[in-house]
Structure 1
Amino acid sequence: MAKERKKTRISSKVDELPPEIKQQVDIMLTDTSNSYWNISDWLKAKGYEISKSSVGRYALRSNSATQRLLEAQSRTEALVNVVKKNPDADYTEAGMMLMMDGLINRLATAEEEFDYLPLDKVGRLIASLSRTKVYKDRVKQDMKDKADLAFKEMEGEIMKTIKSDPELAAKLKEILTRAKEMMLSDD
């Protein structure tokens, strides 16, 4: 049986720089007028032999991490705004959508990580989310069916009681229909 390779944390020469030098490299990377050559030359002048390729790989990793953080922050802010605007809404759907989005993004951007990504676990998470969605939809449909049955029974009883006044019966039926539509709407 082959030995399973363990995923190790990436560490580059830039990561090993003193904090103040690394911070300066990060600042230089945010300025698009600085090329990787310029940063490499600046580091060499400071006594650190780091190639332009190493600077470039570090920039790609740090930009990717920053982008993921910004996207997560944006999604969280959007969810918080939805919660503020709709305090009575069902947030399980939004939470499941965020989780599914994260899983799909992880699969889509895994590239060389596929060798180490436990796909069976990701598959189980996706299946679990799908089961949760099916269960939620089933509960919602059951509630609609029960509400429909209750309104029909209530309508029948009320109609028996007010049969003597057809105009009142028509108005009441209209009110019940509107109430049922409001209760069963997805809003």
Structure 2
Amino acid sequence: MGKRRTRCLIDDLPLHIKDQVDAMLADTRITYWEIVEYLDSQGYAISKSAVGRYALRLDKSTQRLLEAQEQTRALVELIKKNPDADYTEGAMQIMAGELTRKMAQAQEEWDEMDLDKAGRLMVALSRSKVYKDKVRQDMQKKIDLAFSGMESDIMAAIKSDAALAAQLKEVLQKAKEKMMADD
């Protein structure tokens, strides 16, 4: 079953008139009544409420585009600063934010996405988070084991120099912390 897109009389206007309406809507000094009068002068009888609904839909689309551009810009900046970083967390945060907003709006959005589908997406997202946390815990255990074994081996080799042993222990601790950092 295809999803129906919301349409109004303004969508069916000739492009040059629709563009003029869009420009008039962008100018906050122009009232909806003035836009209705303009349309009437062009031979199109469209109500003030229809203009208002169209303006709300246009604003919502513009806002979504701006938010998507901002999220993309932030992700690109993150990639530039940390080329070796794990970006799944950022992508998951964007998806969680979008799903949360979709559920919170609960207007026409509910018509566009079945509640079952939104729920399945939230479950999949939470499973991904649990999996990521488990992988992180497993990685931490492996790192702890590896560094513990390495520390024991090195300490046995340099037992005679206590200052060097303390310094090496500090270096190993810093390395372990850097490996688990979220940068």
Q: TM-score, normalised by structure 2?
A: 0.91
What does residue 66 of structure 2 align with?
70
Moved more, 167-176 or 148-157: 167-176
8 Å contact 1:6–1:116 — kept in the other structure?
no
Q: How far does residue 115 in structure 1 lie from its aligned partner after superposition?
A: 5.1
Instruction: Please state if 1:143 is matched with 2:139.
Output: yes
Q: How far does residue 16 in structure 1 lie from its aligned partner after superposition?
A: 1.3
What does residue 166 of structure 2 align with?
170
Counterpart of 2:177 in structure 1: which amino acid? E
Change in Cα spacing, 1:33 to 1:127, as seen in structure 2 (3 Å) is: same
Q: 1:46 aligns with which of 33, 42, 46?
A: 42
Task: Give the CA RMSD over aligned residues.
Answer: 1.8
Instruction: Please state if 1:33 is matched with 2:29.
Output: yes
Q: How far does residue 27 in structure 1 lie from its aligned partner after superposition?
A: 0.8
Q: In 1, Cα distance between the equivalents of 2:11 and 2:178?
A: 59
Q: 1:21 aligns with which of 17, 21, 28?
A: 17
8 Å contact 1:159–1:169 — kept in the other structure?
yes
Counterpart of 1:36 in structure 2: which amino acid? Y
Q: How far does residue 113 in structure 1 lie from its aligned partner after superposition?
A: 4.0
**1:1-187 paired onto structure 2 within 5 Å:** 8-114=4-110, 117-187=113-183
Sequence identity percentage: 57
Q: Could you report, residue by residue, the CA deviation over 1:64-106 in whole angstroms, capped at 9, with x for unpaired residues?
A: 1111111111111111111111111110000011111111111
8 Å contact 2:102–2:109 — kept in the other structure?
no
Q: Could you report, residue by residue, the CA deviation over 1:82-136 in whole angstroms, capped at 9, with x for unpaired residues?
A: 1111111110000011111111111112324435631111111111111111111
Q: In 1, Cα distance between the equivalents of 2:113 and 2:26?
A: 31
Q: TM-score, normalised by structure 1?
A: 0.90
